[in-house]
């Protein structure tokens, strides 16, 4: 297995998660936080698939599949709620 590649990819994915979390913490408006939440779920799909590659268990991909299916529902409902302005 491509070991240095795996470590490099894991480090870059961790960097992406950290940066998106920083935007979630700062985000001046609630919609910026929703954008950061969306990015975090997409990056998490890649992180879960990488974890499946590291451990060699295919069932991890099912979790990524559930994420890809369900995470966007919350984002869409949150965006529709915030359309009417924030409280």
Partner 1 sequence: MSAVLDMIGGLLMVGGAAFLALGGLGLVRMPDTWTRIQAGTKATTLGTLLTLAGIALIEPGWALKLALIVLFLMFTNPLSSQVLARAAHRAGLKPAPQTRADALADDEGRAAE
Partner 2 sequence: MTLPLLATTGFAAAMLIAALVALVTRSTAVAVLSAGLVSLFASVLFLFLAAPDVAMTEAAIGSGLTTFLFFFVLGRIRREGRDEQ
Which residues are at the interface with partner 2 (CB under 8 A)?
7, 10, 14, 17, 21, 24-25, 30, 33-34, 37, 40-41, 44, 47-48, 51, 54-55, 57, 59-60, 62-63, 66-67, 70-71, 73-74, 77-78, 80-82, 84, 86-87
Distance in angstroms (rounded) separating the CA atoms of residues 19 and 17: 6
Neighbours of 75 (CB within 10 A): 15
Cα torsion 21, 63, 2, 39: sign? negative
Distance in angstroms (rounded) separating the CA atoms of residues 61 and 49: 6
- Contact residues toward partner 1 (CB under 8 A) are 1-2, 4-6, 8-13, 15-20, 22-23, 26, 29, 31-32, 34-36, 38-39, 42-43, 45-46, 49-50, 52-53, 58, 61-62, 64-65, 68-69, 71-72, 75-76, 79-80, 82-86
């Amino acid at each position: 297995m491509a070991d240095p590649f795996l470590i490099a990819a894991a480090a870059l994915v961790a960097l992406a998660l950290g940066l998106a979390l920083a935007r979630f913490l700062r985000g001046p408006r609630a919609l910026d936080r929703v954008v950061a939440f969306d990015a975090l779920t997409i990056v998490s799909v890649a992180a879960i698939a990488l974890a499946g590659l590291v451990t060699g268990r295919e069932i991890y991909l099912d979790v990524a599949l559930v994420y890809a299916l369900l995470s966007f529902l919350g984002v869409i409902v949150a965006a529709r709620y915030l359309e009417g302005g924030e409280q």
